Structure 1
């Protein structure tokens, strides 16, 4: 049975098994594509949540809440560390001034062109594998509200620490159509990406 399940290149030769350090960004996106197959949006988001929690030591969310209560300083600090630590995942970004509850602060991060969205080419993957799980993780697990607003026109994204995300149904991203020209999972006949529907 292993032979039938084994992957092969387009020319039929077997794909070499990769070592731990041989995986690249394309492999990361490929794994994400496999995660969304056969799962609804809630299940996809749950997988990401479980992965994020599995990377933390026991008690880490509670410690984060103590160290970073939702203050202006905590929001600005998290925005500042997001830029260097998430460059590998989303590409170049910068801290920007935003308004949170009527107060201007530098707790925004502008991702110039999201590497994940560009490489996946999939609205559903952006929303279900990045935006919603990341927002929920910071807001619910860490107690630090976060809203992410992807721009599906230019593939940029704005993250705002300290701003509570809207309910999914009220979020403009929940009504986004497929990238019909570039997404291998696209349904051009649907007004909303099928991966955003339950």
Structure 2
């Protein structure tokens, strides 16, 4: 989910708030299987046998993760007993499970994203930066800040050139080589409802930057396209459930569509 952008905004958003304990009964009832993310920069093998790219976190990355986790705890109402990235993903899954509808999950994720930014910064960015050069400057800026501040969440990524519907090409894309958020959650619903849809909504509505995210559920890569609006009929939201999904389990539909998406 989502996902952190501006270092100054995170700093302004404040220190950690007290975290209530995660109810053991709920934890047992909704147990999820997640692998611990290594702090090394080694390339490991995932359960599916593909190379797993590891990002070596720094001091600021740990601060970003804790800030994000604190906001998740506030929204969910409890904390995971697991530390680090594994506990973070468990909280994201709990956010998905406690919501009754897709829109309810997405709205909660948008609230978390908004809470990471002082309102004035978002309003000023949308008012003063987003309109410059038909949105190009704002799109280029957020692409670079994303790479600088969000690799702890998504894994290794880089700025790349994307094609716009009008035929122009901007270097306002971000290619996530292998998204650890998706790989650790192993859930299409988590990707779509706590990351893709709310992140697209957040950038468009609160920063004035259109965004199309194109996750690849086969190789776990993801292409961010800042400056490109999502199509009305987005096929990504109807992807089949992953075979390794620990949330859907026996609730998979006959059609194969992920019941959590």
Does TM, normalized by the shorter one, top 0.5? Answer: yes
d(CA) in 1 for partners of 2:26, 2:223: 39
Quick check: 1:33–1:125 contact (8 Å CA) kept in 2? yes
Normalising by structure 2, we get a TM-score of 0.64
Question: Which residue does 1:92 correspond to in 2?
Answer: 156
Contact 2:253 2:259 in 1 (8 A): no
The answer to which of 95-104 and 66-75 deviates more is 66-75
> Which structure 2 residues correspond to residues 44-193 of structure 1 after superposition, within 5 A?
44-70=105-131, 71-100=135-164, 101-167=166-232, 170-179=233-242, 181-186=243-248, 187=252, 189-193=254-258
TM-score w.r.t. the length of structure 1 is 0.84
Over the residues paired in the alignment, what is the CA RMSD in angstroms?
2.2
Check the 8 A contact 2:213/2:222 in 1, yes or no.
yes
Unaligned runs of 5+ in 1: 11-19
Question: For structure 1, which segment, 63-72 or 37-46, has the greater mean C-alpha deviation from structure 2 after superposition?
Answer: 63-72
Contact 1:68–1:144, Cα closer than 8 Å, also in 2:
no
Farther off after superposition, 170-179 or 67-76: 67-76
Q: Which runs of 4+ in 1 moved over 3 A?
A: 5-10, 20-23
Q: Distance in 2 between matches of 1:83 and 1:155?
A: 17
For this pair of structures, how many residues does the alignment match?
180
Cα displacement (A) at 1:75: 1.1
Q: What is the CA-CA distance between 1:151 and the residue it aligns to?
A: 0.6
What CA deviation, in whole Å up to 9, does each residue of 1:108-127 have, x standing for no partner?
A: 11000001000000000000
- The answer to whether the Cα contact below 8 Å between 2:106 and 2:193 also exists between their aligned partners in 1 is yes
Task: Between 69-78 and 127-136, report the one with greater CA deviation.
Answer: 69-78
Q: Answer whether contact 2:241 2:258 (CA < 8 A) is retained.
A: yes
1:80–1:95 CA contact under 8 A, matched in 2: yes
In structure 1, what is the equivalent of residue 91 of structure 2? 31
Partner of 1:15: none
Question: 1:6-44, CA deviations, whole angstroms, 9 ceiling, x for partnerless residues?
Answer: 36999xxxxxxxxx9684111110001111113221111
Tell me which moved more, 20-29 or 107-116.
20-29
**Are 1:147 and 1:159, in contact at CA under 8 Å, matched by a contact in 2?**
yes
Aligned-partner Cα distance in 2 for 1:126–1:173:
10
What CA distance in whole angstroms lies between the structure 2 residues aligned with 1:113 and 1:81?
19
